[in-house]
Structure 1
Amino acid sequence: MKKRVTGIGGIFFKTKDPAAIKDWYSKHLGFNTDQWGCTFWWKDAEGKDCSTQWSPMIEDTQYYKPSEKPFMVNYRVENLEELLKTLRAEGVQIVGEIESYDYGKFGWIMDPEGNKIELWEPNDEAFLK
């Protein structure tokens, strides 16, 4: 079977004041924050540049819907379209349609406890330009 998840692509969580949280993490933990949060760069087993995003979001964000949870995890995947077909056949709830950007493709699923999971087929090179 092909790999499904290859790593963590991002951690997203709700907060009352995203700017203040980003400032706190920058000051106390050295996060290099920007408008989206902080991007952590690392190399995969083949030496390819990869990224993981850390993003606090305003507490009334609708991005996690239909989940009511205060967080969402993004997983890096290979071949998103094939994986979503497989997951659908396995009875996993798919949320919305695939969205494509220069930095990759995104799809969403729900786990049995109502956590929305973001699946990302990354194009890390787009961030390096």
Structure 2
Amino acid sequence: MERVLGIGGFFVRAEDPDALTAWYRDVLGIDMAAYGVWTQESGPTVVAAFPADTDYFGARAQQVMLNFRVADLDAMLAQLAQNGSHRIGEIQEMDGVGRFAWINDPAGNRLELWQPA
């Protein structure tokens, strides 16, 4: 059986694609090359389905949520706050899994930040 090798892209609609791309680059530190290519650090990626009526993603119109692995959740949240983005709710911790926090990007998409255990 053929298997996928990893996530090859993340595509999002935006009223101002250039501004949203700049936010991901300048605020989250996603170092993008030509055509938005980002070489990420290796590590775990979780693929999970949620019930259709979940509120976990925020607005019901949002069908998917991107989770970014971070080395230091507190430092990332402080950096985001300096740039006008604020955490949604409280930080959650799962024993053996790590710490989680949520923010919205400037287009209103909820993102999850994960500091693995």
- Report the TM range for the smaller structure's normalisation: 0.5 to 0.7
TM-score relative to the length of structure 2: 0.60
Task: Note if contact 2:53-2:60 (Cα within 8 Å) is conserved in structure 1.
Answer: no
The structure with the larger Rg is 1
Task: Note if contact 2:69-2:116 (Cα within 8 Å) is conserved in structure 1.
Answer: yes
CA distance in 2, matches of 1:100, 1:75: 15
Alpha-carbon spacing, 1:122–1:54, altered in 2? closer, same or farther (3 Å):
same
TM-score relative to the length of structure 1: 0.55
Q: Residues 28-74 of structure 1, C-alpha deviation per residue, up to 9 Å, x if partnerless?
A: xxxxxxxxxxxxxxx83xxxxx3111111111111111463111010
- Kindly state the Cα deviation for residue 112 of structure 1 after the two structures are TM-superposed: 1.3
Q: Residues 71-119 of structure 1, C-alpha deviation per residue, up to 9 Å, x if partnerless?
A: 1010100100111011011101321111111210001100111110000
Higher relative contact order (CA 8 A, sep 6+): 1
Q: Name the one with the larger strand percent.
A: 1
2:100 to 80, 92, 106: 106
Could you say what secondary structure the match of 2:46 adopts? Answer: strand
Could you say what secondary structure the match of 2:76 adopts? Answer: helix
Alpha-carbon spacing, 1:110–1:67, altered in 2? closer, same or farther (3 Å):
farther
Amino acid at match of 1:98: I
Root mean square deviation, CA, Å: 2.1
Structure 1: 4+ residue segments shifted above 4 A? none
Unpaired segments of 5 or more residues in structure 1?
6-42, 45-49, 124-129
The alignment status of 1:121 with 2:85, answered yes or no, reads no
Task: Note if contact 1:80-1:120 (Cα within 8 Å) is conserved in structure 2.
Answer: yes
Task: Note if contact 2:103-2:110 (Cα within 8 Å) is conserved in structure 1.
Answer: yes
* Counterparts of residues 7-86 of structure 1 (less than 5 Å): 44=42, 50-66=43-59, 68-86=61-79
